[in-house]
Structure 1
C-alpha cells in the first residue's frame, strides 16, 4: 500500500501523455460514450417492451439477463480477434454489460405505474404518447436512473479491460504494472479506478435526485 501511495504522490505521474489526468480523461471518455450508447438502446427498448405483451417482454428480459452473465474480458478478446480491432472491440462487450440494468429498470419503472393513473390521464384527453412522456416516464425516473447509475459504475469499473488491447485508460496502469512487476503502479491504478467509480456513483445519485419529480422526492 505504501508503494501505491508513493506512486500516487509522485509528481512525474501527473504530467505528460501517460499522466494520471490524461488516463482519467481517456477512461471517462470511453465510459461516457459506452453509457450514452447503452441509454440510447436500453431506454427505448425498455419502454417498448413495457408497452407490449408479455411474450416479447419475457424474451427481451431473458436475453438481457443472459448478457449480464457474459464474461466481459473473454468477449472483448473474442471480438478483437474476429474483427479488425480498434475501439469497437472494447465498446461492444462493455455496451453489452451496460444495457441490461438500464433496460430492465426502465421496464420495471413503467410497469410500476398504477393503472388508475393511466386511466385518469386518458380521461383528461391525453394521447398514448403524452401519457408516456408526461405521466409514466416521470414516475419511472427513480428506477430508470438507478439502472443508469448501476450501468455507469459497472462500466467505469470494468473499462479497465480496454487496456488488454492497448486502448489506454486507467487499466493501462494496472496492466503495465503487472507485466513490469511494478506493484506500486498496480495499487495506484486500482485506487484511481475505485475513486472514479465512487465519484460516478455519487454524481448519478445526485442527478437522479434532481431529475426525480418533486412529489416523488418528498415521498421518498
Structure 2
C-alpha cells in the first residue's frame, strides 16, 4: 500500500473519528491550546504595544527584546518549561505565548507610531486628551496591522501546538508523534494534513474578522484615504 493509499484509508477508518483518540476530540484539544495561548498573548502584547506606540517611550527596546525572543527555539522553551514545571498544560502554554507575543507587539507598536502626527494634533486641537486620542483615533486606524499581527501569531501557534503531544498532552500533534513512534507514516501525514487545514481555516476566518473590524475607508481599494496610517516600518 502506498503512502497516499494509507492516508486515504486512515481518514476512511471510522475508528479515527470517534472516542478519546478520534479526530473531533484531538481537534478540540488542539483548538483549546491555541485559543488559550493566543488570548493570553494578545492580552499581554496588545495593551503594551498600544501604550508604547502612543507614548513613544521605550518602544524600540521592547520591540528589539521581543523580536530577539524569536531566535529562541520554541521546542527548547517547551523542554525547559517541562523540566521546571513538569508535564501538563503549563510548558506548552508558556512556549506558545512567548511565540505569539512578538508579531502582535511589533505590529501594534508600528501601527500606532505610524499614524500621521497631524491627525493626532488635530484630535488634540478638538479637545481630545491622551486616552481619547488612543481609543477614538489611533486604535481604529491601527486595527488593520494589529489584526495582521494577531493572524500571524494565531497561525504560528496552530502549527507549533503540535508540540503539546511531546509533553504528554493531546491535540493533533498526537497523531504525528504516535505515528513516528510506531512508524505508521500514514498517521503522521494525516496529522500534518489536519494541522495544515486548521491553520488555513484560522487564517481565513481571521482575515474575515480583520475586514469586519477595519474601518471602511481603510479597507482594500481605499488605501489612498488621507486618514490611513502611514507606517514607517515593516510589520511582522
Per the TM superposition, whether the score is higher than 0.5 is yes
Q: Which residue of 1 aligns with 2:42?
A: 39
Distance in 2 (alpha carbons) for counterparts of 1:118 and 1:67: 32
* Stretch moving more, 168-177 or 209-218: 209-218
Q: 1:53 to 1:215 in 2, by over 3 A?
A: closer
Shift of 1:53: 4.1
Provide the rounded CA distance (Å) in 2 between the counterparts of 1:13 and 1:60.
45
- 1:2 alignment counterpart: 5
C-alpha separation in 1, matches of 2:75 and 2:194: 20
Distance 2:185 2:45 in 1: 38
In the TM superposition, residue 42 of structure 1 has moved relative to its aligned partner by 0.6
Partner of 1:159: 161
Please identify runs of 4+ aligned residues in structure 1 that moved more than 4 A.
Answer: none
- Corresponding residue of 2:140: 138
TM-score, structure 2 as length reference: 0.90
Q: Are 2:50 and 1:64 equivalent residues in the alignment?
A: no
The superposition leaves residues 42-69 of structure 1 with CA deviations (integer Å, 9 ceiling, x where unpaired) of 1011112213345x11211111111111
C-alpha distance after superposition, 1:174-219 (max 9, x if no partner) = 0000000111110100000000000000010010000001111151
Are residues 53 and 129 of structure 1, via their aligned partners in 2, closer, same or farther at CA, if it must alter by over 3 Å? closer
Gapped regions of structure 2 (runs ≥ 5): 224-236
User: Structure 1 or 2: larger helix share?
Assistant: 1
Pick one of 112, 119, 142 that aligns with 2:121: 119
Aligned with 1:77 (options 79, 83, 86): 79
Structure 2 CA distance, aligned partners of 1:183 and 1:113?
50
CA offsets 1:138-182 (integer angstroms, 9 cap, x no match): 000000000000000000011001100111000000000000011
Deviates more, 1:43-52 or 1:147-156: 43-52
Aligned Cα root-mean-square deviation (Å): 1.1
Distance 2:5 2:133 in 1: 57
Residue 29 of structure 1 aligns to a residue in which SS? helix
Q: For the Cα contact (< 8 Å) 2:53–2:113, is it kept in 1?
A: yes
- Where structure 1 has 5 or more consecutive residues not aligned to the other structure, the ranges are none
Residues 1-220 of structure 1: matches in 2 within 5 Å?
Answer: 1-54=4-57, 56-217=58-219, 219-220=222-223
* Aligned residue-pair number: 219
